[in-house]
């Protein structure tokens, strides 16, 4: 009887040890897939270029969108690699569940992916670009991803370029508005400083000499604040001019092209081979 009880305790200890080991492995695996939740900068920012391991291949994150109604995401990447390089893409959520990834478009180094079956409480998504044993890891979460009503996919690269231009214009408009708001804020500050100067100046004749010296120092400090505000206004106006010029260029690009038709083409695997455009065109003609 004692022998059986001892064996039961050994099995219990073994089960606990196995449970701890599995939990540790899951923790390590999670850290490989996901960065620390507390630091949002750990997640991949738009415009970030990530190397695929120790290779010469790089992946630049252009855009990452999430449509809750479709439980899906679209990821737009610019890939720098030699012609014929083969990349595989994989994705998981925070629960380490594998998510379907399909390639919607691959042209001139731009790759557009669709990630499906996104859970409502996904917390974070990890996307890997894999070349053999080497990989680049990209991450997003609910706070960083651009939430949209519906994902949009285009038949050719021109459609995505148009979408980029539209996003660029919207970002420039927001930047201009922020500078305009800053100008208004600085105007309010300047008005306040001038009123203080007028009030202090009006009191000067009635102050003692020591008080008058202090008041005059205050006036000089306020005048310095006004000069600082005017310098900031000049810098803001210069920034607005630069942003406006860039927005005009983007608008010209937008007006010079026509939006491509949309499509919902499904490619069986998210496996992309970077092709030479000339070779591709020759094959199409044949």
Q: What is the mean pLDDT of residues 206-222?
A: 94
Closest by CA position to 77, among listed 48, 52, 49, 110: 110
Residue 250 CA to residue 113 CA, distance in Å, equals 25
Residue-level pLDDT at 70: 96
| pTM assigned to the model | 0.69
Beta strands in 142-262 (DSSP E): 146-147
Residue 95 CA to residue 98 CA, distance in Å, equals 9
Residue with tokens 């260029």: 249
Query: What pLDDT digit, counting tens, does each position of 62-120 carry?
Result: 999 999 999 999 999 999 988 888 899 999 988 888 999 999 999 999 999 999 999 98
């Amino acid at each position: 009887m004692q022998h059986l009880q001892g064996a039961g305790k050994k099995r219990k200890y073994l089960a606990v040890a196995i449970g701890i080991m599995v939990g540790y492995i899951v923790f390590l695996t999670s850290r490989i897939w996901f960065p620390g939740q507390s630091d949002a900068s750990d997640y991949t920012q738009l415009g970030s270029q990530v190397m695929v391991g120790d290779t010469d291949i790089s992946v630049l994150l252009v855009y990452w969108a999430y449509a809750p109604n479709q439980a899906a995401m679209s990821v737009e990447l610019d890939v720098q690699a030699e012609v014929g390089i083969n990349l595989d893409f994989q994705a998981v959520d925070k629960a380490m569940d594998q998510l379907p990834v399909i390639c919607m478009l691959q042209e001139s180094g731009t790759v557009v992916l669709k990630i499906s079956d996104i859970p409502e409480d996904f917390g974070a998504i990890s996307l890997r670009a894999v070349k053999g044993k080497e990989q680049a890891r990209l991450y997003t979460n609910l706070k960083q991803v651009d939430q949209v009503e519906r994902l949009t996919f285009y038949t050719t690269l021109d459609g995505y370029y148009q979408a980029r231009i539209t996003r660029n214009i919207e970002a420039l408009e927001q930047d201009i508005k922020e500078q305009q708001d800053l100008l208004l804020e600085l105007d309010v500050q300047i008005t306040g400083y001038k009123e203080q100067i007028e009030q202090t100046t009006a009191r000067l004749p009635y102050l003692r000499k020591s008080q008058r010296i202090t008041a005059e120092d205050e006036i000089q400090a306020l005048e310095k604040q006004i000069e600082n505000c005017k310098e900031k206004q000049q810098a803001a106006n210069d920034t607005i001019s630069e942003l406006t010029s860039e927005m005009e260029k983007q608008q010209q690009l937008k007006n010079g092209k026509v939006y491509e038709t949309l499509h919902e083409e499904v490619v069986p695997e998210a496996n992309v081979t970077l092709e030479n455009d000339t070779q591709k065109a020759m094959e199409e003609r044949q």
